[in-house]
Amino acid sequence: MDNKPIIAIATAHGSGGIGIIRISGHNLENLIKIICGQDLKPRYASLLNIYEEDDKSNIIDKVIAVYFKNPHSYTGEDILELQAHGGMVVLDMLIQKCLNVGKNFGMRLAKAGEFTQRAFLNGKIDLIQAEAVADIINANSENAVKSASLSLQGHFSKSIHELLDKLIYLRLLIESSIDFPEEELDYSHTQSIENQFNNIIENFNQIMRKSQQGYILHKGISIVLAGEPNVGKSSLINALAQKDVAIVTPIAGTTRDKISIDIQINGVNVRLIDTAGLRETNDTIEEIGIQRTWQAIQESNILLYITSFEEQNQSISNINIPYENKIMGAILEKNPNLEIIQVKNKSDLVYKSDAITRDMDNIINISAKTGYGLNDLRAKILDIIGYKNDNEGIFLARKRHINALQNTAHSIELAHSNFKYGNQIDLIAEELRIAQENLNTITGNFTSDDLLGKIFSEFCIGK
């Protein structure tokens, strides 16, 4: 493993009160002495000057320097942190100075995510925790931060490890049967294998549920709004966003890009996409915008089809206007998996009492004007995507975690049914081995270099 010193600015680019430079590598003591002009006691903050040249004629900055001696550091290597003034020029000058004196030590600029990658390679954290670091940095809702923090503390990893232990134990039970002819396997042995299978399946399902919830939180959802002009699409977007958002007035021919806005529903990120711009056009720029809207629709989860009490007798199966019919048809053709929620707006025009407008014909009646029915709509949206809004131990899972869990589930199921139907024991053992391998990819115990490279390249430089 490359453990030559790497250096990067760890704080965000731009101006700030403090800017932090971080150096990590093997055996930094000599290098630290040259950069700081003195030895540093590990884990003590020292106020010192960093000079441009050895003759100490020009000072670059007065900094606080902290030395974390391995293995008690983020990366598990020696780390030097310089807390300087937070300007890009001064930080660049400090980096340049360190690179100049660090040349002889093989120092170079760090690649994106390289500090965290070293922490992973040195066994300070596993892959789930490394990903959680990036997730905390990129989190854009409180729920996402809380779940990522739990993962960083090791909750997700612990569950995977517990399941792995159970799988290994089951493999032992199964493999110890291989040496016996079938008729000699006693009942209690078979029973304990069956019990262990059931225990694993129950445990697995729990992890899967928490991961799927977390995946929704991680990825967010996307909702397409469709309906005739004037039914209140913009008003509904404003009402859901709970603030006035600037929305381009959907006049045919003026749309230059897809109209979308990001809101949150109970901590879940939701992108609302207005389809008002989907008109036929000869304008190339507009065409690009329209293509983007189609792209967004293809990636969406839910279609809100909005009608209004102003115009009666409309429902999804009875759309009078040919144009809307065409658009709806095209939307559903592009994304046949879209879940549809029918919403009837402007209930305030018709009903004076809120109570009687609830849940008619599977249509959610709302009033964007008064706010009536919006909570029902929010609940329906979360219900459709399967989000339970209980934050207890949600695992902020990524797509690769879900894929690995699905593969694991497949192998466990196969192993279990092979066992139940009395099939060859080595078939069962082989499926359990595959299940174990899949689980191991989640924590990084069994993960290809390509995948590791991809995961860490998504980090920012300096992390």
The residues of the shown chain that bind ligand GDP, judged by CB under 6 A, are 227, 229-235, 345-346, 348-349, 367-369
Could you tell me the smallest distance in angstroms from the CB atom of residue 248 to ligand GDP? 11
Query: Which residue number, 63 or 276, has a Cβ lying nearer to ligand GDP?
Result: 276
Could you tell me the smallest distance in angstroms from the CB atom of residue 278 to ligand GDP? 13
Could you tell me the smallest distance in angstroms from the CB atom of residue 348 to ligand GDP? 5
Query: Which residue number, 92 or 310, has a Cβ lying nearer to ligand GDP?
Result: 310
Query: Which residue number, 233 or 271, has a Cβ lying nearer to ligand GDP?
Result: 233
Query: Which residue number, 76 or 232, has a Cβ lying nearer to ligand GDP?
Result: 232
SS (H, E, C) the chain: CCCCCEEEECCCCCCEEEEEEEEEECCCHHHHHHHHCCCCCCCCEEEEEEECCCCCCCEEEEEEEEEECCCCCCCCCEEEEEEEEECHHHHHHHHHHHHHHHHHHCCEECCCCHHHHHHHHCCCCCHHHHHHHHHHHHCCCHHHHHHHHHHHCCHHHHHHHHHHHHHHHHHHHHHHHHCCCHHHCCHHHHHHHHHHHHHHHHHHHHHHHHHHHHHHHHHCEEEEEECCCCCCHHHHHHHHHCCCCCCCCCCCCCCCCCEEEEEEECCEEEEEEECCCCCCCCCHHHHHHHHHHHHHHHCCCEEEEEEECCCCCCECCECCCHHHHHHHHHHHHHCCCCEEEEEEECHHHCCCCCHHHCCECCEEECCCCCCCCHHHHHHHHHHHHCCCCCCCCCCCCCHHHHHHHHHHHHHHHHHHHHHHCCCCHHHHHHHHHHHHHHHHHHHCCCCCHHHHHHHHHCCCCCC
Query: Which residue number, 147 or 357, has a Cβ lying nearer to ligand GDP?
Result: 357
Could you tell me the smallest distance in angstroms from the CB atom of residue 237 to ligand GDP? 8
Could you tell me the smallest distance in angstroms from the CB atom of residue 244 to ligand GDP? 12
Could you tell me the smallest distance in angstroms from the CB atom of residue 358 to ligand GDP? 16
Query: Which residue number, 11 or 235, has a Cβ lying nearer to ligand GDP?
Result: 235
Could you tell me the smallest distance in angstroms from the CB atom of residue 310 to ligand GDP? 8
Query: Which residue number, 282 or 313, has a Cβ lying nearer to ligand GDP?
Result: 313
